[in-house]
Chains A and B, each alone.
Chain A
Amino acid sequence: MITQVFNTFKEQTPDDIRMARTPSIMLPLGTKAPDFVLPDTISGNQYTLDQIQGEKGTVIMFICNHCPFVKHVNAELVRIGKDFGELGVGFAAISSNDVENYPEDHPNKMKDTASREGYPFPYLYDASQQTAREYQAACTPDFYLFGPELELVYRGQLDSSRPGNNIPVSGEDLRAAINCLLEGRSVPADQKPSIGCNIKWKADT
Chain B
Amino acid sequence: MESRYLNTTGQGDNKLQGPVPEIVPLTESLIPLYLKTGREAYRQYYCHLWPGGIPDPYLSRNFTAPILLGELGDPRYVCWLLFYKGEAAGICKMDLKKECRFHPTETSLSLGVGHGKRFPMAQNHAERGGALILLTYRV
- B105 partner residues in chain A, CB cutoff 8 A: 118
Assembly CA distance A183 to B106 (angstroms): 29
B-binding segment of A1-9, A20-28, A81-89, A136-144: A81-89
Minimal Cβ-Cβ distance residue in A for B57: A183
Assembly CA distance A86 to B51 (angstroms): 18
Name which of A42, A119, A184 has the most chain B CB atoms within 10 A of its CB: A184
Interface string of B77-115 (1 = CB under 8 A from A): 000000000000000000101110111011000000000
Total cross-chain contacts (CB, 8 A): 43
Assembly CA distance A74 to B64 (angstroms): 35
- B46 partner residues in chain A, CB cutoff 8 A: 83, 86-87
Answer whether residue B4 sits at the interface, using C-beta atoms and an 8 A cutoff.
no
Assembly CA distance A119 to B49 (angstroms): 19
- B106 partner residues in chain A, CB cutoff 8 A: 118
Minimal Cβ-Cβ distance residue in A for B74: A55
Assembly CA distance A115 to B102 (angstroms): 10
Assembly CA distance A86 to B49 (angstroms): 12
Residues in A35-69 with C-beta less than 8 Å from chain B: 42-43, 51, 55-56
B interface with A by C-beta (< 8 Å): 46, 49-51, 57-58, 61-62, 95, 97-99, 101-103, 105-106, 118
A interface with B by C-beta (< 8 Å): 42-43, 51, 55-56, 83-84, 86-88, 90, 115, 118-121, 175-176, 179, 182-185
Q: Which 7 A-B pairs have the closest CB atoms?
A: A118-B103, A183-B57, A184-B61, A182-B58, A183-B58, A120-B101, A83-B49
Known: A119-B103, A184-B57. 9 other contacts (CB 8 A): A51-B98, A55-B95, A83-B49, A84-B49, A87-B62, A118-B106, A120-B102, A120-B103, A179-B58
